[in-house]
Structure 1
Amino acid sequence: MSIQTETLRALYGTWRIARGDANGLGFFEFSINGFWRSFFAAVIVFPAFAFLRWHDLGEAPQDFPVGRYMTVEVIAYVIKWVAFPLVMLHILPMLGRAERYINFITVYNWSSVLQMAVYLVALTFGVLFPSLGAGGFVMVAVIAMLVYGVYIARLTLSVPLPTASAIVMADFLLSMVITSIGIRLAIGQLF
């Protein structure tokens, strides 16, 4: 199967899962090759990520280190894509779910494309309807995507709701820590 076909099938699968259809799992390639190809989602999401980081610079002070900021953000982006799968490689055996690692990470990676799309729509609504508060749209999108992540964890790992929630919150917190360190490095104020 070509990467284009696999990508389209996986994205359709993520859409089906987001609609609560567990049969969406049938559209993913659950193999070691499918696992590695699921990281192609990072390539798909990257332009939106870069645009959002660049957009954030619109309110930066004149002397802000733009080049260093963007470099650190790109490095942090790569680290985020690697860190969570590495953490889960060690956590899932402790949960007795090591055999489900490839399935979980494959679906979780591909789901990031849909998550970014929802986030961009929320930001667009915030711009179109500023009187309603841009932050409100984004907050609803973030909550929806956390719920979606919990559903993916429950579906692919067959774990209880509290365990699935803890896994998704661990990813969220890990991402926040990496982002925070990245921003502090970019502005030269790590310590």
Structure 2
Amino acid sequence: MLDRDEIRRSLTGAWDLFLDRPEAMRAFDVSVEGFWRSFRVIVLLLPAYFLTTMAEQIMLSETAVETAGPGGVALFLDSVVGLGLDWIALPVVLALAARPLGIQRNYAAFIVARNWGAVIALTPFGVIGLLVILGLLNAEIANFLMLASLMVVLRYNFLIARRALDVGIGFAIGIVILDLAVSLTIALALDSVFGL
């Protein structure tokens, strides 16, 4: 499991990346062990992800959009499977493409930073989800806030790619677009499978 010191240090590094501080990457353990341990961060994402999924169910019912099949169960399964696949898809794609792209030297550092950065990136969605669950936000406002949060997260992903991979602006934008494309492909495929 992840120890408290590593969580504190790595989340501080992830926040420093969000603030675009040049020394941010020093906070991460980019060793082979640190690389593999960073995938355990998914456990820290689960509360926010759960809140977001529950809020999505509420928002769907508010807007009179029905899910096919078993309803909430289908949405929950779609979300859980989607999180798992999305968590590993980009690392696998980039592992296969690292040498041709010339990023093999910084590949591990990027994945470690991306994994820890996911905690910062998902937090606003969890907060919005909680506000929807508590009835403090309706679907329209929540969707607007989620879209605004997505814009901030895309910028954050750009900063992670730029700092961790030590690449130019165009290359970092390409990585963000690839990440988004992979996530959307997974989401659309799973929506089709679960009939959503």
Q: CA deviation at 1:133?
A: 3.4
1:138 corresponds to 2:158: no
Q: Which residue number corresponds to residue 14 of structure 1?
A: 14
Give CA-to-partner distance per residue, 1:78-104, whole Å, 9 cap, x none. Answer: 111111100111222112110111100
Partner of 1:166: 174
Q: What is the TM-score normalised by the length of structure 1?
A: 0.86
Q: Which runs of 5+ in 1 are unaligned?
A: none
Q: Please give the root-mean-square deviation of Cα atoms over the aligned residues, in Å.
A: 2.6
For 2:128 and 2:75, locate their aligned partners in 1 and report how far apart those are by CA, in whole Å: 25
State whether residues 154 and 176 of structure 2, in contact with CA within 8 Å, keep that contact through their aligned partners in structure 1: yes
For residue 184 of structure 1, report the CA deviation from its aligned partner.
1.8
Matched, 1:88 2:90: no
2:104 to 76, 98, 118: 98
Give yes or no for contact 1:9–1:28 (8 Å, CA) kept in 2.
yes
Moved more, 134-143 or 9-18: 134-143
User: Which ranges of structure 2 fall in alignment gaps of 5 or more residues?
Assistant: none
Report the secondary structure of 1:119's partner residue. Answer: helix
Question: SS at the partner of 1:39?
Answer: helix
TM-score (norm 2): 0.84
The more displaced of 132-141 and 117-126 is 117-126
User: Is the alpha carbon distance of 1:167 and 1:33 closer, same or farther for their aligned partners in structure 2, counting shifts above 3 Å?
Assistant: same
Q: Which residue of 2 aligns with 1:76?
A: 82
| Number of the residue aligned with 2:156 | 148
Question: Aligned pair in 2 of structure 1 residues 121, 17: CA closer, same or farther (>3 Å)?
Answer: same
Structure 2 residue 4 is the aligned partner of structure 1 residue 4: yes
Change (3 A) 1:63 1:152: closer
Which range is displaced more, 9-18 or 136-145? 136-145
SS at match of 1:29: coil
| Match in the other structure for 1:117 | 123
| CA displacement, residues 116-170 of structure 1 (integer Å, 9 cap, x when unaligned) | 113334556787576x933332222111111111111111111111111111111
What count of residue pairs does the alignment treat as equivalent? Answer: 188
Q: Which has the higher contact order (CA 8 A, sep 6+)?
A: 2
Distance 2:86 2:117 in 1: 15
CA spacing shift, 1:48–1:124, aligned 2, 3 Å: closer
